[in-house]
Structure 1
Amino acid sequence: MIKKANTDDSEKQTMFYYQNCTQRLGPQQMNYHFSISLKNKYFFCEVAKSGCSSAKKELWRQEVLDVPMPESFLNTNHNPHAPFHQHMLIKPFQLGRTKFNEFIRDPSVVKWAIVRNPFTRILSGYLDKVQRNEPMFDNIAHQVAKIRGVQRDAVEASSVSFEEYCQALAQFRRPVDFDQHWRPQYAHICADIIPYTFFAKLETLDDEAKDISRRLGLSNLSFGAGKTHATGSNEKVAQYYTDKTADIVRKVYAGDFKHFHYDLDLPV
């Protein structure tokens, strides 16, 4: 677990958290990924391909643990990919700018996120969203088309190699341009804006569950880390990475490696 101390930069953002995060991500992305528990006084930012589906399900379960709920309601509203207005936790737009800023500024509010080694996260994005030809692939396809000098329609998911995928990632210039599944985590969670209390790591999430439970005032958190969209990327690093693709990921995700203390060497 990484403790995050307030910095001069984050202090300068006081009372402008809502505005600056909206400018960084856009209102839709901010409202989808930011979650607030008024009941348990925490702020959580989900990171795609970092166990977010499992984490959301568990946090939602905890939120209504002591509230009788019809099974039909839970079945309808317990989908982690439901539109954000159906989520169990509060969203920034529901608080409004002023109350959101006050909530984030409150030192008693725990502000946290789950992060992941960029090497395995980016490979997982490729295996899950590109090779399986999910809608998110379109974000990569446009960049691959530019690299190849062809029209977007000429780029099929099955034809995109991991190296082309990595080359496409290097073409993005702003955080908002990346699809959430491969957006740099440091920029995505607005770690330079939000004064986070701590960051948990997906790799050790099960071991940290008790400590996270204590920090959040919850009991027996059980994340089932990363199993909802598992791709086995942890075991496939050597199969897919080359020196060239590793160097691209180190460059594009330099902030993630630095701020979340991940080794620049490929995991073994």
Structure 2
Amino acid sequence: MGFPGTWMTESGSVLYRVVPKCACSTIGQILYHSDHGRFYEGDIHDATEGLHKWAQAASQPVIEAAVRDRSAPAFTCVRNPYTRLLSSFFDKVCGIQRNGNRYRGNLVPLLIQKYGIEVGGPDGKEAFDQIRSFRRFLLFVRDTIRWRRPMEPDIHWSAMSGHVGTFIANGGRYDSIFWTEDFNTGMQAVLDRIAPPVPVDLAQIPRFNESEGHGPKRAHPVEAYFDDLSMHLVYEIYKRDFQLFRYDFENPANKLPVGEIDLDEVHAKLGD
């Protein structure tokens, strides 16, 4: 199976397991900058040079050797499941993507037909009942993850523990896992460990939010979208994410973690 979703700097200074909707655009640009002293022009996910990526055949033996030999520290970044799911809904379902089209072509028509959701009209800018539509989207997410229908789970809303776990199950080991909610602290610790070829000043790094502006603005606080049933569904889907990454399931209004991540526990529970 290898190491899908894994990126590595060309200098071999560090390995990064991408978790969608968890600051991955910003992290990718930081890694690119740490080798080249400049940012990639465009969306870092489209880059085919300047970073090793598992999706590029030529990079696979290089990444595999680095993981096997532990020649580079490995890290990833996680996010509160409540806010990550909302971000996926407004960006991928309600938003128009950077290519001018809807995400995954037939996804939105299917959601409108089978789940009765609204997305804000053709351009995502019309007013609609965001809470009702999001809760219907949540039923769709549950169906894809639990029964893999009407389609396979999408990487943007499948559990973070699934993404994180593939790296472990195939022989990798993380040196750090940090939270998007405390991004600078976690990313600085990674940079301090690797001493990149080009020094990175995090205070000067912009946030590369490639999804910003794709869809409608969230009209309500996070907790308004989650009633008791919604919280039950979220916990059913993301129980491991809440437990391993120490997020507060009981209070959707609290996006901050409530404890420290135990790397040994993460490796033990996701390594099977």
TM-score using structure 2 length:
0.69
Q: CA deviation at 1:172?
A: 1.5
Aligned residue in 2 for 1:187? 162
Alpha-carbon spacing, 1:51–1:114, altered in 2? closer, same or farther (3 Å) = same
Instruction: Quote the Cα distance in structure 2 between the aligned partners of 1:214 and 1:108.
Output: 16
C-alpha separation in 2, matches of 1:205 and 1:103: 25
TM-score (norm 1): 0.70
In the alignment, which residue of structure 2 is the partner of 1:56?
Answer: 28
Partner of 2:141: 169
Contact 2:12 2:66 in 1 (8 A): no
Deviation, 1:78, is: 2.7
Q: Which of these residues, 247, 254, 258, is aligned with residue 243 of structure 2?
A: 258
- Look up the match of 2:76: 113
| Aligned counterparts of 1:247 and 1:224: Cα–Cα separation in 2 | 36
AA partner of residue 178 (structure 1): P
Look up the SS of the partner of 2:21 in the other structure. coil
Q: Which amino acid aligns with 1:50?
A: C
Cα distance in 2, alignment partners of residues 101 and 133 from structure 1: 36
Distance (Å, rounded) in 2 between the aligned partners of 1:90 and 1:81: 12
CA distance in structure 2 between the aligned counterparts of 1:108 and 1:224, rounded to whole angstroms: 29
Deviations 1:160-217 (A, max 9, x none): 701111100001146x922222121111232542322211110001233331211222
Aligned to 1:88: 50
The structure with the largest helix share of the pair is 1
Give 1:171-250 correspondences, 5 Å limit.
Answer: 171-173=143-145, 177-189=152-164, 190-193=166-169, 194-218=172-196, 219-222=199-202, 224-225=206-207, 227-230=209-212, 236-250=221-235
Q: Does the 8 Å contact 2:10/2:50 carry over to 1?
A: no
- Give the Cα separation in 2 of the matches to 1:100 and 1:250: 34
Rounded Cα–Cα distance in structure 1 between residues aligned with 2:107 and 2:159: 15
SS of equivalent to 2:75: strand
If asked which structure has higher relative contact order (CA below 8 Å, sep 6+), I would say 1
- 1:192 & 1:198 partners in 2: Cα distance? 13
Q: Which whole-Å CA distance do the structure 1 matches of 2:45 and 2:247 have between them? A: 31
Q: Where does structure 1 lack aligned partners over 5 or more consecutive residues? A: 1-18, 22-29, 149-154
SS of corresponding position for 2:52: coil
Per-residue deviation, residues 105-137 of structure 1 (Å, max 9, x unmatched): 223321111110111100111122222244336
8 Å Cα contact 2:80/2:247 also seen in 1 = yes
- The letter of the residue matching 1:207 is T
Q: Secondary structure at the match of 2:77?
A: strand
Q: Which runs of 5+ in 2 are unaligned?
A: 121-127, 255-272
Q: Secondary structure at the match of 1:199?
A: strand
Q: Give the aligned length.
A: 222
Distance 1:221 1:179 in 2: 34
SS in 2 for 1:47: coil
Preserved CA contact (<8 Å) 2:9 2:31: no
1:15 aligns with none
| Counterpart position of 2:268 | none
Question: Equivalent of 1:136, from 82, 103, 108?
Answer: 103
The letter of the residue matching 2:103 is: M
1:163 counterpart letter in structure 2? R
Question: How high is the sequence identity, in percent, across the aligned residues?
Answer: 19
User: Following the alignment from structure 2 to structure 1, what is the Cα–Cα distance between the partners of residues 73 and 237?
Assistant: 29
SS of structure 1 residue aligned to 2:177: strand
Quote the RMSD (CA, aligned, Å).
Answer: 3.1
Within 1, Cα distance between the matches of 2:179 and 2:158? Answer: 17
Deviation at 1:47, TM superposition (A): 1.8
C-alpha separation between the residues in 2 aligned to 1:206 and 1:170?
32
